[in-house]
Structure 1
Amino acid sequence: MKTTTIQLKNNYVLIKPQGSYDKVTVGGIDLKVGYNHETRGRHVSIIGKVIKLPESLIFLGNLLKETSNQDERKSIVASSLQWDTQNVLRVGDDVLYDYMLNNTCETEARVVEIEGIGDCYLISYDSIFGYSRDGDKYVPINGYVFFKRDEAKGRVAKGDLEIIYKTGDYHEDYGTVIAADEPVSAYLFTNYNDHGLKLHESDRILVKKGHGFRIAYDIHASEELKEIEVVRRPNIIAVCNS
Structure 2
Amino acid sequence: MSRPAKPTVVLVHGAFADASSYAQVVPRLIARGLDVVAPAVPNRSLIGDAAYVASIVRQIPGPVVLVGHSYGGAVITVAGTEDNVKALVYLAGYALEEGESLGELQGRFPDSDLAAALVRTPFPVEGSTENGTDVSVRPDKFPAVFAADVDVRLAEVLAVSQRPLAAQAFADAAPAAAWRTTPSWGLVASSDRTINPDVERYGYQRAGMTTVEVDSSHLVMLSHPQRVVDLIEEAVRAVSA
TM-score range, shorter chain: under 0.3
> Larger helix proportion, structure 1 or 2?
2
TM-score (norm 1): 0.25
> Larger strand proportion, structure 1 or 2?
1
TM-score (norm 2): 0.25
Name the structure, 1 or 2, with higher relative contact order (CA <8 Å, separation 6+): 2
Larger Rg: 1 or 2?
A: 1
